[in-house]
Amino acid sequence: MPSSALDREAIEAEIDRVRSLGLDELRTLWRATFRSPPPPAFAKDLIARFLCWHIQEQAVGELDPETAKHLDGLVRRDKAEANRPRRIKPGTVLVREYQGDRHTVTVVPNGYVWRETTYASLSTIARAITGTSWNGPRFFGLRSGAEPRASSEAANVSPAPKNKRRLVRAAKSHPAGAAQRPLVDDRER
């Protein structure tokens, strides 16, 4: 394996050699390099990429601490943003099927309208629907942990029979109060 004293051409030649190896040869090289077998889920391409990265790291060194900290911060921010509630435009219609009943909530400038009453939060509506404490954005599929799915206005009025059967099966397979797949329709996108 090349060391930091070798030039760029030698590193590129070693990377080309690693890329040309078969799966068994890559696994053998992995064991020799890292003194453990490669993870079973790693395919040939991923093993080769990781070994090539390791060759480059040995030749030119690791990331400096400042760059590593910056990249780590970017990863953390992406995770935090994934759980941040989405900003929903007024006019957006949220549809949630729960225990066989379809609940439609319309976003208005000062809250959410459900059953002709305006509420300040989705959590209040989710609690009224389920009878238990819920995170409203999660209940309606606006946060991670739920699986939102966009649907057309026509699908909100008359769902396809195939979709309805799937929702009924999901309702039967989940205990009362368990989250099911919400439907989201943002008309102003």
Per-residue pLDDT 10s for the chain (189 aa) are 444 455 788 889 999 999 999 999 999 999 999 999 999 888 999 999 999 989 888 888 888 888 888 888 877 776 655 555 567 888 888 888 888 889 999 999 989 999 999 999 899 999 999 999 988 888 888 876 544 443 333 333 333 334 433 444 444 444 444 444 444 444 443
Instruction: State the residue range of the domain holding 149.
Output: 93-185
Under DSSP, is residue 99 helix (H, G, I), strand (E, B) or coil? coil
Tell me the C-alpha distance between 63 and 59, whole Å: 12
Residue 85 resides in a domain: no
Asked whether residue 97 is assigned to any structural domain, the reply reads: yes
Looking at residue 51, its pLDDT comes to 93
**Are 42 and 104 found together in one domain?**
no
Residues 62, 2: Cα–Cα separation, whole Å? 15
Strand 93-98 with 183-185, pairing? antiparallel
Is 73 contained in some domain? no
The answer to whether residue 72 is domain-embedded is no
Say if residues 86 and 142 touch (Cβ distance below 8 Å).
yes
Q: What is the widest separation between alpha-carbon atoms in the chain?
A: 74
Q: 82 in a domain, yes or no?
A: no
* SS3 (DSSP) at 185: strand
Measure the CA–CA gap between 64 and 138, rounded to whole angstroms: 39
Report yes or no on whether pTM surpasses 0.75.
no
